[in-house]
Amino acid sequence: MKLPDPAQPGLILGPGPAGWWDCERVSGPRVLRCADGRWRMWYYGRDPSFDREINLPTGRCGLATSADGIRWTRERGPLTDGAVFEPHPDPARFDCGHVAVSDVHEADGRYWMWYFGGTLARQSIGPYQVRGFDLRPGLAVSGDGLHWLRVEGPCAGALLALGAPGDFDAVFCGWPQVLREADGWKMYYHTLDPRRGFVVGLAVSGDGLSWEKCGEVFGPGEAGAFDMQGVATRQVVPLDGQYLMFYEGVQPSGQRSIGLAVSADGRVWRRERGAEPDGSVFAHAPSGSGRWDAFAVGTPCVVEVPGEGLRMYYIGSNEAGDHAVADEMHLRHQIGLALSGDGDPARWLRLGA
């Protein structure tokens, strides 16, 4: 396989052209190899005019397609500047400020998109004043991947409510990822517990619409570990009779690498040491290298390709001096691809490296 830009190992999709909804940043790829043989990638991002007070890479969502999962073509959607999904116009809804896709399934002749959104409300988190951090999960369906219809949830349109004051998920419930199994549904999401860092929660459902929270299932690593500040975006994959969780581990500096945990039941998790020096399975490029993903890698999306092994689509971000931890807007998110040719989930190599 050839890399679109040999000078940038891993990089497969950057910001869109001027006038597009994603011309400032792209983030959070969710990739499917669909029943018709095409590859489809839904992702989120924004243009420079999007509300700068919402200090997240979220905004609107779009679609790109590919014949090989490497070279991508943007598909112009029906919404603002070619987006396929955007904030709801009703200010009373949970997703009126910004939205982001975090999981897509192809089933029953439709695409099912789990996403999250926030309002325009302001709140205090530690020393920071933030806007739009009241994130909650939602669901939308589509027949073509371009035109989406929201499924109304019970919490101002959302599927889950925020936790009560003092609960681990009182700040937000973001980045939902869903598994449909024989005995029901599991939804993994993460939040920020100001006392400890980023933690993963679990909710379960019998029908995929009404959900019951089960509490925290995975939290920060030990002191000095690459994930000591917590566990953020993740993908849980059933593989060979067990569950694998590829997750974004957060360091106090804000730098992020991707780790691996294993579970027999999807509830109790054990960390697995990866091949990278810090114990992760996929680390950000070396600091000071000037590479496009030298500050952080995250939002892993793993796809098994028969005869090839595993692919991991991810976002990378650049180094941006002292602004990186407090100001997301100084980071440039782009989308990359890493490969595990032998199918070893603990060892990855950037495309073209």
Full domain range(s) for residue 173: 11-342
Tell me the C-alpha distance between 232 and 229, whole Å: 9
In a domain, 167, yes or no: yes
pLDDT bucket at 116, cuts 50 / 70 / 90? very high
Residue 65 domain-assigned (yes or no): yes
Give the pLDDT of residue 128. 77
Does some domain include residue 1? no
| Structural domain total, the chain | 1
Question: Does some domain include residue 348?
Answer: no
Please check whether residue 28 lies inside any domain of the structure.
yes
CATH number at residue 118: 2.115.10.20
What pLDDT score was predicted for residue 125? Answer: 79
Residue 320: pLDDT band with limits 50, 70, 90: confident
Q: Report if residue 352 sits inside a domain.
A: no
pLDDT of residue 124: 83
Q: Which range, of 17-21, 243-247, 339-343, averages the lowest pLDDT?
A: 339-343
Domain assignment present for residue 67? The answer is yes
Note the pLDDT tens digit of each residue in 149-162: 999 999 999 999 99
Residue 351 counted as domain residue = no
Closest among 10, 28, 5, 23 to 74, alpha carbons compared: 23
| Gap between the Cα atoms of 188 and 206, Å rounded | 15
Q: What is the DSSP string of 164-225?
A: PTTSTTSS--EEEEEEEETTEEEEEEEEEETTTEEEEEEEEESSSSSEEEEEEEE----TTS
